[in-house]
Amino acid sequence: MKTIIRIMRPDDANIAGNVHGGTILKMIEEAGVIISTRHCNRQNEFTSESKTGFSDWLQHPCYHLCSCSTAEERCVAVLARVERTDFLSPMSIGEVAHVSAEITYTSKHSVEVQVNVMAENILTGVKRLTNRATLWYVALSMENVNKVVEVPHIQYGSPEDQEEGRKRYEAQKLDRIETKQRSEDIILPAINVDRQRKEPYTVGYSQSSLIHLVGPSDCALHNFVQGGVTMKLMDEVAGIVAARHCKTNIVTASVDAINFHQKIEKGSVITVSGRMTFTSNRSMEIEVFVDVDHVLGRPKEKASAVTAFFTYVSLDKEGKALPIPMLKTQTEDEKRRFEEGKTRYLNTKAKRMAGAQKDQ
- The residues annotated with a catalytic role in the active site are 14, 235
- The radius of gyration of the chain from alpha carbons, rounded to an integer in Å, stands at 20
Question: Helix (H, G, I), strand (E, B), or coil: what is residue 297?
Answer: coil
List the one residue out of 295, 105, 305 whose CA is nearest residue 225: 305
CB under 8 Å to 346, separation ≥6 — which residues?
A: none
87 DSSP β-pair partners: 131
Of the chain, the end-to-end C-alpha distance in Å amounts to 30
* Cα–Cα distance list, 303 to 29, 176, 275 (Å): 23, 17, 18
Instruction: Give the C-alpha separation, 131 to 90, whole Å.
Output: 10
* DSSP state at residue 10: G
Distance CA 261, CA 309 (A): 15
CA distance 299 to 297: 6
Determine contact, residues 267/287, Cβ cutoff 8 Å. Answer: no
Contact between 270 and 294 (Cβ < 8 Å)? no
Say if CB 241 and CB 270 are below 8 A apart. Answer: no
